[in-house]
Amino acid sequence: MTRQDPHRHYLSPWAKQDRAPAGPSFDRGEGAHLVGDDGARVFDFSSGWIAATLGHSNGDMADAVAEQMRRLCFAPPSFPHALRSELARRLSDLSPWSEGARVHFTTGGGEANDDAVKAARLLTGRTKVMAAYRSYHGTTGTAAGLTGDMRRWASEPTTFPAVRFFAPYPYRSPFHTDDPAVETARAMDHLSRIVIQEGAHNIAALVIEPMVGSSGVIVYPEGYLDALRRFTERHRILLIFDEVMTGFGRTGAAFAAERFGVAPDMITFAKGVNGAAVPLGGVMIRESVAKGFDDRVFDIGHTNAGHPVAMASGLAALDLYERGDLFARAREIEGLMAERLDALRQKHPLIGDVRGVGAFWGIELVGDRASRAPLIEWYAADPSLNHSLVDEMLRRGLWVYARYGILMLAPPLVATDDDLNDAFDRLDGALGWLADTLEDPK
Ligand SMILES: Cc1ncc(COP(=O)(O)O)c(C=O)c1O
């Protein structure tokens, strides 16, 4: 297939370039919807890449950004700047730590993970870092080494290879059980064995998504994160939650740390911090850990870290979350999504598993419910079925981010119940289309 003219000179991520991009070229946003330059309206059921948590093209956000661009566009990160101090303070207030936090800003999630690891190594004097196989932490230098899924392969050998472990996956247990408590116990036993071989005194940090995002939308069994917390504390390993996807209301609380009741030592964030309005990310370090930098050089910096325009967008975003009570809204969305997804599961044998919390859910498609055989192999050499389904959903007015046969449903928190119910009706139709197509491939 030849490439369409508008994309002739643009390299599209994670894709063979000769595949014509599906759907319209998006021209503008209207809240939870995207509008193509042909006028087609598409409901953004995945907030882009689980990022546009506030929806699209918010006027208050645009005003805050424009105002800051006129006032002062750039101030190096070493200059004092009121918005930077204010955003750091508000993030500290939002953090799960009563002691507060200090914030280092970046321009995205991968960079935030790179810097969190560097900070952990500086603070502990240890060198190794642990990360799970089913994970995505970015493709910048260190983050690529942390990433467990196939998106790491192109970066190998990575400059910073993590010590890797299997974390629980209740639907496809790597620990051969259907019992969540056994899964957790065996996962912890597996982890301890690895740590013995690596030497706990060599391990600076353990990095984990508190709920797995694009590597499968996996909610860990109750008790697992808590067990990790106790384990890392015992070995004086810093626990880092990568909340690039789960932060800012996605799980029905400011952070998944709060939702799951486990406080790590650092949290990395991006995406939802400003609904991806402009590039912004960062690392929050709890006060008792961050004070280690009072008499030690914080040897990390980027020209665009704490960029005034990004700071203005972050503050505007926090106002929008607060004014709309959007973290609580995510809890309401949870109820609606759980109910509609349950009905879809009962209707469509193609759905093997449904899982999630807040406004972040995954549908895992299977070829056979009894054996749980995946409909699309995890590392499918041929992703065409995934592509056809995504294309069909776009034709039906839905953007759904899908990987390896797992559909990620994470609507903007400004979506109304009507928007969501309409989106579920369309999704129902698309799954019916998929079943018909598989039965009678043309
Ligand atoms: C959990 C998680 N961490 C890190 C990243 C990388 O963030 P970025 O793409 O901003 O570098 C992502 C991106 O999707 C992510 O989902």
Residue boundaries of the structural domains of the chain:
5-57+325-439, 72-323
Interval 218-230 mean pLDDT: 98
102, 112, 117: which is closest to 288 by C-alpha? Answer: 102
Question: At 216, is the pLDDT very low, low, confident or very high (cuts 50, 70, 90)?
Answer: very high
Residue 12 predicted with pLDDT over 90: no
What pLDDT score was predicted for residue 393? 96
Q: What is the pLDDT of residues 361-371, one digit of tens each?
A: 999 999 999 99
Tell me the mean pLDDT in the region 188-194. 98
What does the pLDDT read at residue 1?
31
- Return mean pLDDT, the chain: 95
Report the C-alpha gap between 96 and 418 in whole angstroms. 33
Nearest residue by C-alpha to atom 13 in ligand 1: 138
Residue 442 — pLDDT band, cuts 50, 70, 90?
low
pLDDT band at 15 (very low <50, low <70, confident <90, very high): confident
CA distance 381 to 376: 10
- Going from the C-alpha of 155 to that of each of 65, 148, 343, 370, the distances in angstroms are 35, 12, 41, 37
Average pLDDT on 72-83 reads: 96
- What was the pLDDT predicted at 404? 82
Across the range 363-382, mean pLDDT stands at 89
Strands 41-44, 398-399: pairing is: parallel
**Spatial CA neighbour of 46 closest among 23, 15, 66, 64:** 23
For the Cβ of 114 lying below 6 angstroms from any atom of ligand 1, the answer is: no
Nearest alpha carbon to residue 140 among 157, 123, 158: 158
Q: Which amino acid would we find at residue 199?
A: G
Q: Which residues contact 112 (CB under 8 A, 6 or more apart)?
A: 106, 244, 268, 269, 270, 281, 282, 283
What is the SS3 assignment for 281?
Answer: strand
Atom of ligand 1 nearest to the CA of 214: 16
Q: Give CA–CA dist 48/58, Å, rounded.
A: 15
If you take atom 11 of ligand 1, which residue's CA is the nearest one? 110
Query: Taking residues 150-155, what's their average pLDDT?
Result: 92
Across 104-109, average pLDDT: 98
* C-alpha 101 – ligand 1 centre gap (Å): 21
- Residues 328, 332, 336, CA angle at the centre, nearest 5°? 160
pLDDT band for position 387 (cuts 50, 70, 90): confident
pLDDT at 3 over 50: no
Average pLDDT estimate for 333-359? 98
Contact 320, 54 (CB under 8 A): yes
Q: How many angstroms does the Cα of residue 51 sit away from the middle of ligand 1?
A: 9
Residue 248 predicted with pLDDT over 90: yes
Tell me the CA–centroid distance for residue 244 and ligand 1, in Å.
6
pLDDT reported for residue 368: 95
CATH number among 3.90.1150.10, 1.10.1040.10, 3.30.1380.10, 3.40.50.2300, domain 5-57+325-439: 3.90.1150.10
CA of 38 to the centre of ligand 1 (A): 31
Average pLDDT over every residue of 173-195? 97
CA distance 145 to 165: 13
For residue 414 the two structure tokens come to 């400004």
Q: What is the mean pLDDT of residues 207-225?
A: 98
State in Å: Cα 110 to ligand 1 middle: 6
- Tens digit of pLDDT for each residue in 255-298? 999 999 999 999 999 999 999 999 999 999 999 999 999 999 99
With 50 as the cut, is the pLDDT of residue 112 above it?
yes
Phi and psi at residue 242, in whole multiples of 5°?
A: -85, 100
Element (H, E) at 124: helix 109-124
Report CA(259)–ligand 1 centroid distance (Å).
Answer: 20
Q: Is the pLDDT of residue 147 over 50?
A: yes
pLDDT value at residue 6: 61
In whole angstroms, give the CA distance from residue 132 to residue 242.
12
Cα 207 to averaged position of ligand 1 atoms, centre (Å): 13
Is 243 a pocket residue for ligand 1 (Cβ < 6 Å)?
Answer: no
Which residue is associated with the tokens 């390896």? 404
pLDDT band at 18 (very low <50, low <70, confident <90, very high): confident
Overall average pLDDT of the 394-404 stretch: 94
Q: Is the CB of 214 under 6 A from ligand 1?
A: yes
Instruction: Verify whether ligand 1 is closer than 6 Å to residue 149 (CB atom).
Output: no
CA of 109, closest atom in ligand 1: 7
Contact 283, 119 (CB under 8 A): yes
Q: Which is the closest atom of ligand 1 to the Cα of 107? A: 10
Kindly report, residue by residue over 193-213, the tens digit of the pLDDT. 999 999 999 999 999 999 999
Mean pLDDT of 97-124: 98
Residue 225's pLDDT is what?
Answer: 98
For residues 109-118, give the mean pLDDT: 98
Nearest CA to ligand 1 atom 8: 109
Query: pLDDT tens digit string along 427-440?
Result: 999 999 999 999 88
Mutate which of 207, 217, 245 for ligand 1? The one with the most ligand atoms within 8 Å of its CB, which is 245
Q: How far apart are CA 201 and CA 198, in angstroms?
A: 9
| Contact 401 CB / ligand 1 (< 6 Å) | no
CATH for the stretch 72-323: 3.40.640.10
Asked whether the predicted pLDDT for residue 58 surpasses 70, the reply is yes
pLDDT-based confidence at 228, cuts 50/70/90? very high
Please tell me the predicted confidence (pLDDT) of residue 14.
85
Q: Is the CB of 242 under 6 A from ligand 1?
A: yes
Spell out the residues 6+ positions from residue 66 whose beta carbon is closer than 8 angstroms to its own: none
Instruction: Name the band, by pLDDT with cuts 50, 70 and 90, for residue 2.
Output: very low
Note the pLDDT tens digit of each residue in 132-146.
Answer: 999 999 999 999 999
